[in-house]
Amino acid sequence: MNAVNPRRWQALIVLAAAQFMVIMDTSIIGVALPDMQRDLGFSSGNLQWVFNAYVIAFGGLLLLGGRLSDLFGARKVFTTGWIILIAGSVVAALAADAWVEILGRGVQGVGGALIAPASMTLLMTLFGHDPRELGKAMALYGAAAPAGGTAGVFLGGVITEYLSWPWVFIVYVPIGLATLAAVPALLPAVSGRRGSVDVLGAIAVTAGIALAVYAIVRAPGQGWGSATTLLELAGAAALLALFLVIQRTVRAPLMPLGVWRTPGLATSNLAMALLGAAWIPMWYFLNLYLQQVLGYGAFPSGAALLPMTVAIMIFMIGVTARLLGRFGAKPLIVAGLLVLAAGLAGLSLARPGGTFAVDVLPASLIAAVGMSLAYIPAMMSAMSGVRPEESGLASGIVNTTYQVGSALGLAAMTAIATSRGAAELENLPALTGGFQAAFIGAGAVAATGAVLTLLLMRTPNQAARTRPEEPQPAGV
């Protein structure tokens, strides 16, 4: 057994900060989007690719990142990921054209895909000796993700208002360099193991996700029933099916399919996917509502969402962990998704002539509580049943499902919003109607997640009764 690392809590600060920054990279651009659209020439429909380029690369390559972490050692992969993230940030900051911006965001996503699973492996290495300490560490680490997503909106507003939008990327350079400087002293050197890399599987899953999002984004213009849309969706399905075939046939797959026999893994990941598909469209369209309908500038728009960040941190660190120990994961996931759906229902009532105090603040706080209740229990449930040597794989899977759910959810809600008037920037009633439709759609996704979790997720006692000797495939 490895000796207990005396600097493990300082190391946790580095890991949680890395998780915070990686997830913040999905949201810090939110407030800057209108300025980027104006300066780089994005259309209303294509603007979401500033977000999706990062998320697709991040979500599509997380499994590969987990595999590389196992093969080459988590600390080396963590370091490499930060170097790539810094490089992508420089490209995104210096972009003068839309396609260069998208390229830089994709490179950032590659870096994030290496950092996230390596961070989880390092966390398990540091705290795996004590389940109680591991629970506390996971709560703090888990809180960093949604807090980073929400805090990014506020920080992006501050930076965009008082500097300019390229600085939302430049800020990653000094933070990344400081992180790299702290690695040798604080993070343990985790040895890798011999094996091969499933490059073909990584290409198939990333291309399949990207093509699915691309098809959904283009569907409103082409028609959902058009031959082009159907062909693109069929191509995405074929690539994802190919990925599964590859995983069954190669000697060292990215995602050994046997891991899905772990009790609760499938339903926990389903809940995470639907949570991302509801939460990410919410902050995306809420930010657009604040700026394009209420007329907020960059800083006021970011500041308006700061209460959500505070609520998330308070609930995740002070409330959710205690409730998880008392009630277990399933009730909290169901309740969290239902509360999130209620918050989105409140946001769907936002008016063209609305105010922050009435149309945004109450509903956004309700949504933040819902996210706080569901996120950590879903992640813990997905990770709790796997063997220690599969922690990197499980982390990659659960992060992948959340990011893929986020990308597909945003693409679908953007399609809905556009079809209901969200592209009519000069027509506030139509614009607001498009945003309302997106909030309703996201709320329906959250409610669906609650129902499916309630029906399909087994409690630990139920799972134990269904496993005589060997773990059975989790049809949950």
**Is residue 104 over pLDDT 80?**
yes
- How is residue 250 annotated by DSSP? S
* More confident: 339 or 262: 339
Indicate whether 474 belongs to any domain.
Answer: no
* Mean pLDDT over the full length of the chain: 82
Boundary of a domain, candidates 231, 251, 271: 251
Whose tokens are 């930010």? That residue is: 287
Out of 212, 227, 251, pick the residue that ends a domain. 251
Same domain, 349 and 416: yes
Rounded Cα distance, 412 and 421, in Å: 15
**Least confidently predicted of 167-171, 284-288, 465-469:** 465-469
pLDDT, one tens digit per residue, over 20-31 is 887 777 677 777
Tokens 């922050």 locate to 356
Domain count, the chain: 2
Residue 295 included in any domain? yes
Cβ-contact 59, 404 below 8 angstroms: yes
Residue ranges of E strands in 19-143: none
Residues 126 and 206 in one domain: no
**CA-based end-to-end distance of the chain:** 34
Q: What does the pLDDT read at residue 284?
A: 82
pLDDT for 195: 66
Residue predicted with more confidence, 379 or 173: 173
Higher pLDDT, 235 or 63: 235
Q: Are 47 and 33 in contact (CB under 8 A)?
A: yes
pLDDT band at 379 (very low <50, low <70, confident <90, very high): confident
Residue 234: domain span: 198-251
Answer whether residue 456 is part of any domain: yes
- For residue 87, the tally of other CB atoms under 10 A from its CB is 17
User: Is there a single domain that holds both residue 204 and residue 347?
Assistant: no
Residues 127, 148: one domain?
yes
Distance CA 459, CA 98 (A): 48
Residue 223 φ/ψ region, left for φ over 0, alpha for ψ in the -120 to 50 degree band, beta for the rest: left
Residues 12 and 96 in one domain: yes
- Distance CA(306)–CA(24), nearest Å, equals 14
Give me the pLDDT at residue 449, please.
95
% the chain with pLDDT above 70: 89
At 461, is the pLDDT very low, low, confident or very high (cuts 50, 70, 90)? Answer: low
Q: Worst-scoring range by mean pLDDT, 169-178, 270-279, 387-396?
A: 387-396
DSSP secondary structure letter of residue 258 = G
pLDDT tens track for 146-164: 667 667 777 887 888 888 8
Inform me whether the pLDDT recorded for 475 exceeds 50.
Answer: no
Q: State yes or no: pLDDT of 45 exceeds 70.
A: no
User: What is the DSSP annotation of 380-426?
Assistant: HHHHHTS-GGGHHHHHHHHHHHHHHHHHHHHHHHHHHHHHTTTT-TT
Rounded CA-CA distance 311/13 in Å is 20
Token representation of residue 21: 């920054």
pTM across the whole model: 0.76
- Pick from 354, 365, 361: nearest CA to 436: 354
State residue 194's pLDDT score. 67
Neighbouring residues of 15: CB distance < 8 A, sequence distance ≥ 6: 119, 122, 123, 141, 187
Average pLDDT over residues 201-207: 85
Which candidate, 86, 68, 69, 62, places its Cα nearest to that of 181?
Answer: 86
Residue 308 half-sphere exposure toward CB, CA atoms < 13 A = 31
H/E segment holding residue 70: helix 49-72
55 in Cβ contact with 25 (< 8 Å): no
Residue 1 counted as domain residue: no
User: Which residues lie closer than 8 Å to 310 by C-beta, 6 or more apart?
Assistant: none
In terms of domains, do 208 and 299 share one? no
Do the beta carbons of residue 186 and residue 114 sit within 8 Å? Answer: no
Centroid of chain to Cα 235: 24
pLDDT at res. 270: 93
Per-residue pLDDT averaged across 337-363, rounded?
93
Comparing CA positions, the residue from 400, 398, 396 lying closest to residue 382 is 398
User: Does the structure show a pLDDT above 90 at 6?
Assistant: no
Q: Are residues 119 and 206 in the same domain?
A: no
Residues 237 and 179 reside in one and the same domain: no
> Nearest to residue 67, comparing CAs of 276, 240, 259?
259
In terms of pLDDT, which residue wins out, 4 or 78? 78
Whole-number pLDDT of residue 310: 81
Q: Tokens for 19?
A: 């998780």
Segment 424-434 shows an average pLDDT of: 85
**In percent, how much of the chain has pLDDT > 90?**
24
Task: Looking at the structure, tell me whether residues 333 and 372 fall in a common domain.
Answer: yes
Do 236 and 144 reside in the same domain of the chain?
no
The answer for 264, left when phi > 0, alpha when psi is -120 to 50, beta otherwise, is: left
Domain boundary among 229, 251, 273: 251
Amino acid at position 274, single letter: L
Of the pLDDT bands very low, low, confident and very high (cuts 50, 70, 90), residue 327 is confident
Phi-psi region of 354 (alpha: psi -120 to 50; beta: other; left: phi over 0): beta
The DSSP result for 200-228, as a single string, is HHHHHHHHHHHHHHHHHHHHHHH-TTSHH
